[in-house]
């Protein structure tokens, strides 16, 4: 985030980014399908009760001139999601690898018993 911009601009950009994240969490699709979801969310006021006018006050507009900006925010959100999932996957797989290695070192009877019971630790 650019700290040289006025606080109002940063707040508007934060609100826009949060809005796009909200829409992306609702429906994990890429651009332009995400644009359709953003329009649906705005139409129904599902994000903080904000409609199109409220979103415009927070720097989120849906006109043709705003399309590149919204697409850029959508790409940013998608990149962050990929990075976040990568970090989560590493965190989940690390303990699983350690468990599977411990199982492989266990005697055959113990390994099969743990797998059958579902307590592979």
pLDDT tens-digit profile of 18-58?
999 999 999 888 888 999 999 999 999 999 999 999 999 98
C-alpha closest to that of 15 among 38, 34, 32: 38
Per cent of the chain over pLDDT 70 is: 61
C-alpha closest to that of 42 among 58, 64, 65: 58
pLDDT tens sequence across 89-101? 565 565 555 555 5
> Where exactly are the structural domains of the chain?
7-91
pTM above 0.85, yes or no: no
Cα(54)–Cα(109) distance, integer angstroms: 65
């Amino acid at each position: 985030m650019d700290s040289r911009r006025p606080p109002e601009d940063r707040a508007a950009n934060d609100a826009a980014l949060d809005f796009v994240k909200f829409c992306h969490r609702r429906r994990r699709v890429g651009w332009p399908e995400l644009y359709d979801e953003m329009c649906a969310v705005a139409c129904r006021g599902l994000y903080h009760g904000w409609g199109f006018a409220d979103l415009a006050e927070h720097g989120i507009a849906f006109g043709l001139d705003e399309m590149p900006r919204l697409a850029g925010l959508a790409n940013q959100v998608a990149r962050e999601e990929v990075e976040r999932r990568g970090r989560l996957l590493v965190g989940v797989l690390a303990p699983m690898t350690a468990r599977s290695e411990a199982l492989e070192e266990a005697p055959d009877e113990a390994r099969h018993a743990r797998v059958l019971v579902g307590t592979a630790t």
